[in-house]
Amino acid sequence: MTAISVTRAGVGPEVLLVHGGASPEVTWAGLAPLRAGWELALVHRRGYPPSPPPLDGRQDFEVDATDLSPLLDSRPHVVAHSYGVLGVLIAATRSPDQVRSLTLIEPPLYFLVPGDPEVGRLERLGDEVLTDGLEADPAALREFLRLAGAPDVDEGPLPGAVAHGVRRAHGGRLPGEARPALGALRDAGIPCWSPRVITRPDLSASATPWPRSWMPSG
């Protein structure tokens, strides 16, 4: 299986950055000043050039986990966003001793809060977009894109970059199918933070929400 690409910049402790549906350049653009004290390693998930296309033509968090596992050999700090969290967690639970810390931003871990109506609605919206792509119900599609932070989606034709992103995600494996063994991370004592997202005290030994701009010390 062809390896995925990683773009590196900066000097210091390594921070492995794993994006979700948006490109790594868009997702992590605000972190550029941190290159003065950190080595930022931007992962390009399958389907995001220069990495190869996704296997079987669809995004799959299990494939992401396989791709990411070798990148943990250097024991980096790991920061992941959205769909990218799923592959990171699966890879980390398989080799928890290879992860220095985890920061999880907006992870789609819906199973942690069963029965919550708002979380359930978000999951249904996301699943519809993944399943139907641009053919999803227009109102549901635009609502999901707004929640995801996509620009200029309230009315009129979708921006080209946004439409391309929807097509790229279309057919992807649904996040609700993921069941990472979170207990392995807790038992290993890996520091784990989750800003602006659903958190549960049993996710790790210290699952305190921290500001989005926080970065772990070396």
Q: How confident is the model at residue 209 (pLDDT cuts 50, 70, 90)?
A: very low
User: Which residue range(s) make up the domain with 59?
Assistant: 5-109+178-193
Same domain, 62 and 147: no
What's residue 195's pLDDT? 66
φ/ψ of residue 6, rounded to 5: -135, 130
**Tally of CB atoms within 10 A around 168:** 19
Same domain, 21 and 123: no
Lowest mean pLDDT among 69-73, 140-144, 188-192: 188-192
Pairing of strands 5-9, 39-44: antiparallel
Same domain, 142 and 40: no
Give the tens place of pLDDT for each residue, 67-126. Answer: 999 999 999 999 999 999 999 999 999 999 999 999 999 999 999 999 999 999 999 999
Rounded to two decimals, the pTM is 0.88
Same domain, 144 and 184: no
Q: Of all helices (H) and strands (E), which one includes residue 5?
A: strand 5-9
What's residue 191's pLDDT? 87
Question: Is 198 inside a domain boundary?
Answer: no
What's residue 150's pLDDT? 92
Of 13, 12, 45, the residue nearest 28 (C-alpha): 45
Question: Is 213 inside a domain boundary?
Answer: no
Cα separation, 64 vs 92, in Å, equals: 12
**Tally of CB atoms within 10 A around 113:** 14
